[in-house]
Chains A and B, each alone.
Chain A
Amino acid sequence: MMRLVRRTVGLAAIGAIALTTTATIGVAGTLDDLRAQGYATVAVANEPPYSDIKGDGYVTGAAPDVARAVMAKLGVPELRAKLVAYGSMIPALMARRVDMATSGLYIKPKRCESIIYSEPDLCGAEAFAVPKSNPHNLLTYEDIAANPELTMTTCAGCAEEAYALERGVKKEQIKVFTDPPSGIKMLQQGRVDVFALSGLGTADLLKKTNDPNLELVMPVKGVPMGCAGAAFNPDDTEFRDAYDAALAELKESGEFAKIIEPYGFSAEATLGVKRDDFCPGN
């Protein structure tokens, strides 16, 4: 059931030429409903700088901030966050417990079988956190696989877990953490030898932990750069396409770079990739 909706998009082009265009875009029910209720419920994982829930419940971080700007363009002024572990985001989308996941969920072929993504919004290298001076000299996942005595921690169902398994790390070597700070705690206490997560996420955690006995290994060689996008229910292709169009405007206007660069992400790295590079035809 499709309905034609007229909407007005204010487009501020670089060079301070303000034009007002009236675009006509066909959208399925989801976006209409969101516009009517005035907010979208988004899944975030609380992994700064990808996503960050402030003490008062305000959701920020690079991914939600991009989503907020895009959704404002689409006529949905507010985002309401639901804290969802990475492993549960896809089920949450499929069960429509959330309208979108905006938390740096990497675009991975296996995930594309279940959900659909926007164009990439955040790209970054991978990292390890290890004890000071890296006693086991761990620079790649292959290094962990080479010594079955070692154990690592990461989140259940994360890209890092798949990287490890694909590169020969045994299931028994992986102890999944309940949340990233607990994972760092496990590393500090010597329960695991290495902590693996996104580069900026790991760097942020180490900065906050401020423990001189821990060290960052970045980038982890031999794994692809992880690119994330906003994720949607597979039935919401129209919503996703509208989102993509607004995201493209954002990227073009330079506003996109202004949002993500303060968080340490490179806009250039993101502009150089497309969703089709990871999941053709998603």
Chain B
Amino acid sequence: MNWSWKVVYDVLPQMLEGLVITVQATIIGALVAYALGLILAIMRMSNSRIISLSTYWISEFIRRTPLLVQLYFLFYVLPDLGIFLEPLEAGIIGLGLHFSTYTSEVFRAGIENVPTGQWEAAKSLNYRPYQTMRYVILPQAIPPMIPPLANYLITMFKETPLLSAITVVELFNAANIYSNSHYKYLEPMTLVGLFFLIVSVPSAYIAMWLERKYQRRYARNH
């Protein structure tokens, strides 16, 4: 085990490029996961049994199969069906789709925790379903959702190395490609770990802080 600063110096620029891709994939993937998760949650709570049940089974299917398999499917199988995705696109869609099934549960729990009285009040004001959601339910449901959603963001961040399987050169893959041609693993992989820590430790503390903040507010309001 000989730590070489020269290797660090060599690999660092490629890894920083990789880090940009990792952060891009995480943030855009999370936006997809949040938007799609909200839609899934609303569909799941639909009064129509068909919509509700089919949403349930689709979510179950996505959540109970490995993300890696889904990525391979998006990247290698979809083109045969005429849908061609660039590696990063396929990765973002895969991450977003997979995690939307988790975030949808957060949304659903958040919405269902709004007291029934609030729904009744909206009804008595003659609000349409959109107005009920927009002005009554979501403003109360969203704050307690923020900490778990932030935690999923961190989880997604840590899952991004899976994208290397579909040729996305993110942080881990950038290091791995270097290792493969220079036979040095100690420095590149240590740096990968460090980079993930540098981003995820502060993020975790922010998530914990959010959790405390919204818990207090929630407690005060009730």
Q: Which residues of A contact B (CB under 8 A)?
A: 85-88, 90-91, 94, 114, 156-157, 161-162, 175-178, 182, 185-186, 189-191
Known contacts A182-B76, A185-B76, A189-B79: does B165 contact A157 (CB below 8 Å)? no
Whether a CB of chain A sits under 8 angstroms from the CB of B46 is no
| 29 A-B residue pairings within 8 Å (CB atoms) | A85-B180, A86-B180, A87-B176, A87-B181, A88-B180, A90-B183, A91-B179, A91-B183, A91-B185, A94-B183, A114-B183, A156-B177, A156-B180, A156-B181, A157-B177, A157-B180, A161-B181, A162-B181, A176-B177, A176-B180, A177-B167, A178-B165, A178-B167, A182-B76, A186-B167, A189-B76, A189-B79, A190-B84, A191-B87
Contacts of A175 in B (CB 8 A): 87, 167
Contacts of B177 in A (CB 8 A): 156-157, 176
Interface residues of B in 150-188 (CB under 8 A from A): 165, 167, 176-177, 179-181, 183, 185
Assembly CA distance A87 to B184 (angstroms)? 11
Distance from B61 Cβ to chain A, minimum over Cβ atoms (Å): 25
Assembly CA distance A189 to B181 (angstroms)? 27
Which of B80, B177, B181 has the most CB atoms of chain A within a 10 A radius of its CB? B181
Known contacts A175-B167, A176-B167, A178-B167: does B79 contact A157 (CB below 8 Å)? no
Looking at chain B's contact residues, the main secondary structure is helix
How many Cβ-Cβ contacts under 8 Å join chain A to chain B?
40
Which of B165, B167, B177, B180 has the most CB atoms of chain A within a 10 A radius of its CB? B180
Distance from B174 Cβ to chain A, minimum over Cβ atoms (Å): 11
Query: Quick one: CB contact mask for B179-199 with A, threshold 8 Å, 1 for yes?
Result: 111010100000000000000
In the complex formed, the residue of A with least CB distance to B164 is: A178
* A87-B176, A189-B79, A191-B167 given; 9 more Cβ-contact pairs under 8 Å: A86-B180, A87-B181, A91-B183, A91-B185, A94-B183, A156-B180, A157-B180, A178-B165, A190-B84
Contacts of B165 in A (CB 8 A): 178
Known contacts A178-B167, A182-B76: does B84 contact A157 (CB below 8 Å)? no
Contacts of B181 in A (CB 8 A): 87, 156-157, 161-162
In the complex formed, the residue of A with least CB distance to B72 is: A182
**Which 9 pairs from chain A and chain B are nearest by CB?**
A87-B180, A157-B180, A156-B180, A157-B181, A189-B79, A90-B183, A156-B177, A175-B167, A114-B183
Assembly CA distance A182 to B180 (angstroms)? 18
Contacts of A85 in B (CB 8 A): 180
In the complex formed, the residue of B with least CB distance to A162 is: B181
Assembly CA distance A94 to B181 (angstroms)? 14
Contacts of A176 in B (CB 8 A): 167, 177, 180
Contacts of B185 in A (CB 8 A): 91
Assembly CA distance A189 to B148 (angstroms)? 39
Interface residues of B in 73-91 (CB under 8 A from A): 76, 79-80, 84, 87
Which of B167, B176, B179 has the most CB atoms of chain A within a 10 A radius of its CB? B167
Assembly CA distance A190 to B80 (angstroms)? 11
Assembly CA distance A186 to B176 (angstroms)? 20
Assembly CA distance A86 to B165 (angstroms)? 16
Distance from A186 Cβ to chain B, minimum over Cβ atoms (Å): 8
Distance from B45 Cβ to chain A, minimum over Cβ atoms (Å): 39
Assembly CA distance A87 to B79 (angstroms)? 28
Distance from A246 Cβ to chain B, minimum over Cβ atoms (Å): 28
